[in-house]
Amino acid sequence: MRAYLSDRMGAALLMAPLLLFLVLAYAWPFLGVVKWSFTLPTPGLGQYNALLTDQLVQSVFIRTLRIAAIVTIVSVAAAYAITVVWVRGTPVQRVVAEFCILVPFWISVLTRAFGWVALLSNRGLINTWLQAVGFISEPLALVRNEFGVIVGMTHFLIPFAVFPLASSMRSLDDRVLLAARGLGSSRMRTFWSVFVPMTRSGIIGSALIVFVFSLGFFVTPAILGGGRSVMIAELIYLRIFQSPDWGLGAAISVVLVLFVGALMALLFRYVRPKQLV
Amino acid sequence: MPTYRPGPVSLVLAALVALFLLLPLLAVIPVSLTPSRMLAMPSGELSLRHYRALIEDPRWINSILLSIRIGVVSSAFSTVLALCFSLGVWMFQPRFTAALVGFVLLPMVVPPVVSAITLYFLLTSISGFSSFFGYDTWLGVAMAHAVMTVPFATVLILVSLSQLDRRIDLAARGLGATVWERATRIIMPNIKFGIVTAALLSFVLSWEEIGVTLFITSVNAITLPRLMWMGLRDNIDPAIAALSVILIVITVLVLVARGVVVRLRAAQ
């Protein structure tokens, strides 16, 4: 009995500091934000009502969903292509693929967004080169619009899409693929009717992760969108710091959390957590 | 044993993706060498003036030092908290473990912008009582970063604990070791690699944190990413290109060194 009690005391003492820290520094202030959404500027459901009627807010929500959907499809497809080589390639191919995935993964989001500015802006690499060759006379608008945002976000999210795909491709039995080839199926057919269906859980997991990440994305859209293609996260920032309307910013945050929570619930229903890593 | 290898079509597609991934990282190199004061490709002559600006302009040095200080403090704090919590989970396997771990992981899964507004609320509330700890102070930023990095540290430490053999802890316990002795002399030496990795990852995450930092700083606590952000938003400063090149080179060197070490170990 004494040992049992001291066990429980020990667990409580070890776990308490972190739990206390997060309750005070995260859970409590989050409730404060929820309170803002109901009380600022006037108590009531006014901010949520505004969410349903405000044209600007709605267009931002729709743009965010559209960009997130496009980015999800492109990143998962691109990640799939490089993951196949990372997991199934020859040793040299694997090292090269791993390098190309991990280097961008570890470089900060700001540096990567800046790299795209250097490539895509009016005086950037691509426009300078195209003009020098005489292909175009006026620089192409590649940045400060939705195109730039989609390119930058896709670049950021490909490595995150790779990891769930890689784990589902690793657990795949080689012999099934060799059997398909041995029975006379072409490379293409083996890939589309055997390989892809067997990595379905990885595809779903990686698509949901990318989609959830892109909903709350802030830095890349703010830099590559140049204030013209505002997404939800940037709208929250603008509501808090530029047109002080804390209540609306808080209400958008609450809706965003609920939406992401629902998507995560979906994720865990279809994919067991262990398959994600 | 024969294995199933990717065919030529797969290889071409993968090469295109690899090019896409590396292109923006390579693009900053020519920009960093431009003699112009604005963002532009160098035409003809090259110059190192933007690299010199990084050393000579005190704003860059100050923000680098501040980012290091915040990174060290927040990483130490989050690693210690994550270590204690994970030891509690592993040694005692209390009830509701899944719910408690899920709660700890929240800052990792909640959209960063929501965490940012949450921490903004927290630090502006604290600012009412204290001038050196709250909105736009380095301690406030360090605490906010600790909130954001502690889930990652916890995951890493829990993973390395899950690979530990429970029987060595049971043996120590059977021989009469106290909780403190079991934790510090049996368990921790066996997961020291995981602890160090957790501390390093926390530092790196804090070092490059920008989403939350933007909400909780204005003029005093200017971390390196915050300074880069300012240079990117207003008038693009090519010094950012020089800085980016340096950060990319460091990342590549660390990854290559790690790859070599891992392969040497595997070869032994």
At B166, which CATH number? Answer: 1.10.3720.10
- Nearest CB to B25: which of A6, A103, A123? A103
Q: How far is CA A68 from the centre of its chain?
A: 8
Residue entry with tokens 């940045």: A143
What's the pLDDT score for residue A1?
A: 46
Q: Residue A84: pLDDT band by 50, 70, 90 thresholds?
A: very high
What's the pLDDT score for residue B122?
A: 94
Instruction: Confirm or reject contact between B31 and chain A (CB < 8 A).
Output: yes
More confident residue, A174 or B69: B69
pLDDT above 90 as % of chain A: 49
Residue-by-residue DSSP string for B214-258: HHH-SSS---HHHHHHHHHHSS--THHHHHHHHHHHHHHHHHHHH
Is residue B141 domain-shared with residue B236, that is, in the same domain?
no
What's the pLDDT score for residue A233?
A: 92
Is residue B36 domain-shared with residue B146, that is, in the same domain?
no
Report, as an integer, the average pLDDT of A202-228: 90
- Nearest CB to A30: which of B118, B208, B211? B118
Is residue B207 domain-shared with residue B227, that is, in the same domain?
no
Instruction: Confirm or reject contact between B100 and chain A (CB < 8 A).
Output: yes
- Chain B environment of A109 (Cβ under 8 Å): 208, 210
Gap from B63 CA to chain A (nearest CA, Å): 15
Is residue B96 domain-shared with residue B204, that is, in the same domain?
yes
Gap from B188 CA to chain A (nearest CA, Å): 14
As for the ipTM of the complex, it is: 0.90
> What does the mean pLDDT of chain A come to?
88
Is residue B186 domain-shared with residue B232, that is, in the same domain?
no
Report, as an integer, the average pLDDT of A251-270: 87
Query: How many domains is chain B built from?
Result: 2
Q: Do residues B124 and B134 make contact, with C-beta atoms less than 8 angstroms apart?
A: yes
Residues of chain B whose pLDDT is less than 50? Answer: 1
Instruction: Confirm or reject contact between B61 and chain A (CB < 8 A).
Output: no
Three-state secondary structure along B89-117? Answer: HHHHCCCCHHHHHHHHHHHHHCCHHHHHH
Q: Do residues A197 and A166 make contact, with C-beta atoms less than 8 angstroms apart?
A: no
> B9 in a domain, yes or no?
no
Name the closest residue on chain A to residue B224, using Cα atoms.
Answer: A110
Is residue B216 domain-shared with residue B124, that is, in the same domain?
yes
Is residue B83 domain-shared with residue B184, that is, in the same domain?
yes
Is residue B86 domain-shared with residue B205, that is, in the same domain?
yes
> B12 in a domain, yes or no?
no
Is residue B111 domain-shared with residue B145, that is, in the same domain?
yes
Q: Do residues B31 and B241 make contact, with C-beta atoms less than 8 angstroms apart?
A: yes
Question: Could you count the other beta carbons within 10 Å of the beta carbon of residue A54?
Answer: 14
Contact assignment for B25 to A104 by CB distance below 8 Å = yes
What's the pLDDT score for residue A162?
A: 96
Q: Report whether CATH 1.10.3720.10 matches the domain A54-276.
A: yes
Amino acid residing at A212 = V
DSSP letter assigned to residue B40: -
> B268 in a domain, yes or no?
no
Gap from A134 CA to chain B (nearest CA, Å): 16
> B7 in a domain, yes or no?
no
Gap from B55 CA to chain A (nearest CA, Å): 19
Amino acid residing at B252 = V
Is residue B86 domain-shared with residue B207, that is, in the same domain?
yes
What's the pLDDT score for residue A276?
A: 44
- Nearest CB to A11: which of B94, B208, B214? B94
What's the pLDDT score for residue B1?
A: 44
Is residue B177 domain-shared with residue B143, that is, in the same domain?
yes
Report, as an integer, the average pLDDT of A243-251: 87
Per-residue pLDDT of A39-53, as tens digits, reads 877 787 888 888 888
Q: Which of A27-31, A56-60, B138-142, B263-267 has the lowest mean pLDDT?
A: B263-267
Contact assignment for B113 to A84 by CB distance below 8 Å = no
Instruction: Confirm or reject contact between B103 and chain A (CB < 8 A).
Output: yes
d(CA A241, CA B198): 34
Name the closest residue on chain B to residue A19, using Cα atoms.
Answer: B104
Contact assignment for B10 to A95 by CB distance below 8 Å = no
Contact assignment for B111 to A216 by CB distance below 8 Å = yes
> What does the mean pLDDT of chain B come to?
91
Q: Which of A15-19, A198-202, B138-142, B224-228 has the lowest mean pLDDT?
A: A198-202
A123 CB-near residues (< 8 Å, 6+ apart): A139, B38, B39, B40, B41
Contact assignment for B5 to A96 by CB distance below 8 Å = no
What's the pLDDT score for residue B114?
A: 94
Report, as an integer, the average pLDDT of A179-186: 88
Per-residue pLDDT of A124-153, as tens digits, reads 888 888 888 888 888 888 888 999 999 999
DSSP letter assigned to residue B149: H
Q: Which domain holds residue B46?
A: 21-56+223-256
